Chain A
Amino acid sequence: MSSVQSISARELHGVDLKQALIVDVRTPMEYSEKRLASPTALAPVTELDPHDTALRSGALEDTPILVLCRSGARAKTAAAKFAESGFTDVRVIEGGIIACQEEGFATVGEGQPKTAASSPSLDRQVRFVAGALTLFFTLLGLLVHPAFFLGALFVGVGQVFSGITNWCGMALLLMRAPWNQKGASCGLGKACSIDANKGASKGAGKSPGASCQ
């Protein structure tokens, strides 16, 4: 088994990141809340498949792999998986995303400062839905049949599991909800048709617009 090296966030400034692949092994919820602004592959450590992650990220077995989590602990487990799978240059970013942020690396995500107009964050949605479900099942248990208490118990166990593992199935489901999908506003302001045969601008954009999507 190859030994896994570490790299400090400060040393990361000296790395040619275009030649490397940064792998974020936190949960999707954590990734959604805050992630590096530079491209990173999301590959939660609990379901990490090193070869699949590399293949879908355009990386090879000798591509430098820089593994990142919140503070560094999970990254060591993930880095070991990469090394055991034959990847030859694997390093753990010491201190994880917290250290990267302190070192000046830009981050993005829902965990950034919010405005009053922004939608509720995912963790707030989870708390609301879990609370509502618990209340709902408790009422059904009191008013309809005691078997409904099992529903409240299930939600409670799920929340305890989430607290221990930082892995939340409810968050994964909520992320797929329409209001948590990418916004539909146009990033360029005024938009126009680009059919040269029509030769006229029309209407406001409703897609990202600056892309070929």
Chain B
Amino acid sequence: MAAPNVRGFFDPVTATWTYVVWSDTDSLKRCAVIDSVLDYDMPSSRTSTVSADAIINFVNQKQLQVEWILETHIHADHVTAARYLKGKLGGKIAISKHILGIITTWVPIFQTGDDTPADGSDFDYLFDNDEEFTIGDLKARIIHTPGHTPADTTYIIEETAFVGDTIFLPDVGSGRCDFPGGSAEDSYDSSRKLFALPDHYRIYVGHDYPPAGTRGPQCMATVNEQKFKNDRLHIGIDKNTFVSRRKADDTGKAVPALLLPSIQANMRTGDFGTAVNGTQYVKLPVNKL
């Protein structure tokens, strides 16, 4: 088995890539959806499902069966559509067991302990480090690649790797490391885990921020391209140099616009929590961050 089929969907509002992954040789056409997006308009606090419905339309057109709805981490810049997709398409929502540390960190900030299970049971499955699993007849495994957040993970599916925000395309570099528990040192070490993969493996990123006017959004670079062309992490850059630059660039950086609604919802697979009189609410801690 070589590389699986990968269809990417780019959300220009949050610069997020969502992927549908499957194999042509699986008679049941089972697939995984990785890092979905629930559209959320912050000023009006309204959600919409345009982006998620595009995934649903594609899955239905291809007559795929969703086996897994995977999250690479708890996103800070968009709300996941995992729960919405599960309701429409089925499948198991899964994430790394390291989400438990994220819940421990963030639930006290939001005071959402009443409706955010501390054991991560809103998710259908929590992966152990290095755990192997399958998507139809595709072999997959999960590796821990912290740095951007302490819970970031990479899904290696045959000859492809879905890295979330562990690393970005070569001309963009890497994800910020200033979220709680983030670590530039870990980010560097995680990149070296990816660089240990065979050179021809394809690395699919969680976001793309194309340098203005130079190209359109792209989703993939090979391991070899990342090793020798990544602006921040290429072979030859030592750890101290990377860490110094990363920390300097992260100092004083603006908070992602959707950080507060995203994190509290994403710890519940994209749900906004218990409704009061039929309305769900987002909690915005004041003078806390």
Contacts and interface: CB of A to CB of B under 8 A. Distances in A.
Interface residues of A, number: 52
B148 A212 contact: yes
Interface in A184-210: 186-197, 199, 201-210
A38 B254 contact: no
Given A16-B57, A207-B249, A58 B12 contact: no
Which one of B50, B168, B213 has the greatest number of beta carbons of chain A within 10 Å?
B213
Contact of B215 (A42, A186, A189, A208): A42
Chain B at the A interface: SS class: loop
A203 B252 contact: yes
A212 B207 contact: yes
A196 B7 contact: no
B209 A39 contact: no
B275 interface: no
Given A203-B251, A203-B252, A194 B179 contact: yes
B215 A191 contact: no
A211 interface: yes
B54 A18 contact: yes
Contacts of A19: 54, 57-58
B265 to A, nearest CB: 16
A188 B254 CA distance: 7
B65 to A, nearest CB: 18
Interface string A140-162: 00000000000000000000000
Given A188-B257, A210-B77, A57 B180 contact: no
Interface residues of B, number: 56
B224 interface: no
Contact of A209 (B7, B8, B211, B253): B253
Nearest to A206: B252
Interface string A1-32: 00000000000000010110000100010011
Interface string B173-191: 1011011100000000000
Nearest to A205: B254
A32 B209 CA distance: 15
A213 interface: yes
A122 B276 CA distance: 56
Interface string A107-142: 001100000000000000000000000000000000
Contacts of A165: none
A175 to B, nearest CB: 6
Contacts of B202: 55
23 contacts: A18-B51, A39-B10, A39-B216, A42-B215, A60-B7, A182-B211, A189-B254, A192-B254, A195-B178, A195-B179, A196-B105, A196-B180, A199-B288, A203-B251, A207-B249, A207-B254, A208-B254, A211-B15, A212-B256, A213-B173, A213-B175, A213-B176, A213-B209
